[in-house]
Structure 1
Amino acid sequence: MRSRSPADDDGSVAAEFAVALPAVALVLALCVGAVGVGSQQLRLQDAAADAARGLGRGESTSAVQGRVSRAAPGSVLADWSSGELVCARLTVPARGPAAVAGLRLAAESCALDGGR
């Protein structure tokens, strides 16, 4: 039986690296995409809270929609009243790699209805 020498393993590290590199790149891309979606969701939630407060102060829906469009471009505003509260719901398609999957983000917030 022939004994193995260190020279028998030449190239195995390069082959393992070539196999692992695409998987590492994919995981890294997914992580970056998730951070982007999280950031977009946070901005959308802030815009929904601002919209609810504006509607609660008695601002017109068109004025609130204009402000929301600057904060969260492409978002759609829906508003309704529930007792002493006025609520706003924003929806928007996700940007970046999540857009390929058809992901839609939504955020809603309510404020006291003091202006209606």
Structure 2
Amino acid sequence: MRSRRACRDDRGAVTAELVLGIPVLLGVVVGLVWLLAVGAAQVRAVDAARETARAAARGEDRSVALAAGRRVLPEGVVELSEDGEQVTAVASARIDPPGGLFDALAGITVRAEAHALREPDLGSAP
């Protein structure tokens, strides 16, 4: 008799655990998706800095080089500096959390820097 009563007391325990577990699992999934978005933004920042530096090193106009970087990272900032024979491009972007419980987290800023030496002007060679 006692064992039947024990079984009846445990009824609904799985439902309660499931109700508590699903939101936690959903939060973990949303957090992982956000981290994937941050990783993808970092890759785009690296590509934007590299494209900007390469275009400037080839002798492209400054606005053309910056436009090349902004095409790769439209939500970010691309800067270009020149120091003699070396050009440096810096690309950065801020990735905000997805919202909800993650609003308490600060956004993450991804940043990439690329350097390139100016290529010689082959058009003026005899």
Same fold by TM-score greater than 0.5: yes
Identity of aligned residues (%): 34
SS at match of 1:77: strand
Asked if the contact 2:48–2:78 (Cα under 8 Å) also holds between the matched residues in 1, the reply is no
5+ residue gaps in structure 1? none
| Counterparts in 2 of 1:96 and 1:5: CA distance versus 1, 3 Å | closer
* 1:58 and 2:59 correspond: yes
1: distance between equivalents of 2:58 and 2:120? 5
Match for residue 93 of structure 1? 94
2: distance between equivalents of 1:35 and 1:63? 30
Match for residue 110 of structure 2? 105
Q: Give the number of equivalent residue pairs.
A: 114
| Counterparts in 2 of 1:81 and 1:54: CA distance versus 1, 3 Å | same
SS at match of 2:107: coil
Q: Using the TM superposition, name which of 101-110 and 36-45 deviates more.
A: 101-110
Q: TM-score, normalised by structure 1?
A: 0.83
2: distance between equivalents of 1:85 and 1:67? 18
Q: Using the TM superposition, name which of 72-81 and 14-23 deviates more.
A: 72-81
Deviation at 1:83, TM superposition (A): 5.8
Asked if the contact 1:37–1:95 (Cα under 8 Å) also holds between the matched residues in 2, the reply is no
Q: Using the TM superposition, name which of 81-90 and 69-78 deviates more.
A: 81-90
Task: Specify which structure has the bigger relative contact order, considering alpha-carbon pairs within 8 angstroms and separated by 6 or more residues.
Answer: 1
Question: What is the root-mean-square deviation in Å for CA atoms of aligned residues?
Answer: 2.3
Q: How does 1:1-116 map to 2 (within 5 A)?
A: 4-82=5-83, 84-94=85-95, 97=98, 101-114=106-119
Match for residue 124 of structure 2? none
Q: TM-score, normalised by structure 2?
A: 0.77
- Which aligned segments of 4 or more residues in structure 1 are displaced greater than 6 angstroms? none
